[in-house]
Amino acid sequence: MRDYAEHVCLRDLALSTQQGYYRQIRLVEERHGKDPKLLGQKRIQSYIVHLREERGWSASSVRQAVACLRGFYGDMLGKDWDLWRHARSRERRKLPMVLEIEQVAKVLGSVALLRHRVPLRLIYCCGLRLDECVRLTIDDIEPGAVIVRDGKGGKERRVPLPEPVYRQLQRYWKQHRNPKWLFPTPGRGRRENARERMGRSTEPMGKGALQKAFHDAVAASGIRKKATIHTLRHSYATHLLILGVNIRQLQLYLGHEDIETTAIYLHLIPFGEEKSMKHIEAIARMTR
């Protein structure tokens, strides 16, 4: 396992990806109860089927598992199995669920604590991923822009920051004055002296705390949608397209490598639908 940890590290993958790969081999060990390197192709093939059929893993999760197993058995141990050429996991892409602007405002207004409400508002107003938001430092914020320095795939990008949100971030930081983190963790335990503890903290806010705060806010708002924090990013993208932002510009804001990933939001906007319906009815009349 130490050898595999070093092997993954040499590939210069994101830390979260390295941890996910390492954890995957641990799952193989737990499933079969023996040293993973002693397992053969048939056992690993049945394990992949187990993930898909019995555990109900999504296509993307199964693909990551296969990539990890290929790295362990194929690249590190030199197992040139046919399995790597046959294992497939098709993505059944669904349209993302979004909230209307009024619903976003209602959810954010239902967040109980300021230390949760401020980062959640920033995620929506800048279309950030959860991990990108909680790891922002004070050097990543400037008037008019958020600099995402280690986004998905290790990419850096610049995202417009609305003036009201920038001012709110300034006021928020002055309450804790942490020398590094914009959203430091207050740590575990009682809520007393949270600001002082945040000022001394050496770690950013945990993702789990923000996820729970958002879940509680959705429930408190009375909105009957299964929204997650990532729903705020989907909503940001959809709302900007509705308001006329160029899709190529939106691709840069979101940090998508492929514009087809951004184009999925076009299916969620009603722009031009009424005009299109008139043309559809016209061609129907002409064919009577």
Among residues 4, 236, 253, 265, the one annotated as catalytic is 265
Which amino acid belongs to residue 223? I
Write the CA distances from 269 to 223, 235, 237, 279, integer angstroms: 20, 11, 10, 18
Assess whether 215 carries a catalytic annotation. no
CA 146 – CA 161 distance, rounded (Å) = 6
72: number of Cβ within 10 Å: 24
Assess whether 188 carries a catalytic annotation. no
Assess whether 234 carries a catalytic annotation. no
Assess whether 152 carries a catalytic annotation. yes
Among residues 79, 115, 116, 129, the one annotated as catalytic is 129
Write the CA distances from 239 to 97, 117, 221, 271, integer angstroms: 12, 20, 20, 11
Among residues 152, 157, 207, 225, the one annotated as catalytic is 152
CA 178 – CA 187 distance, rounded (Å) = 14
Residues with Cβ within 8 Å of 240's Cβ and at least 6 positions away in sequence, in order, are 127, 250, 253
Assess whether 253 carries a catalytic annotation. no
Assess whether 31 carries a catalytic annotation. no
Point out the residues that are catalytic.
129, 152, 230, 233, 256, 265
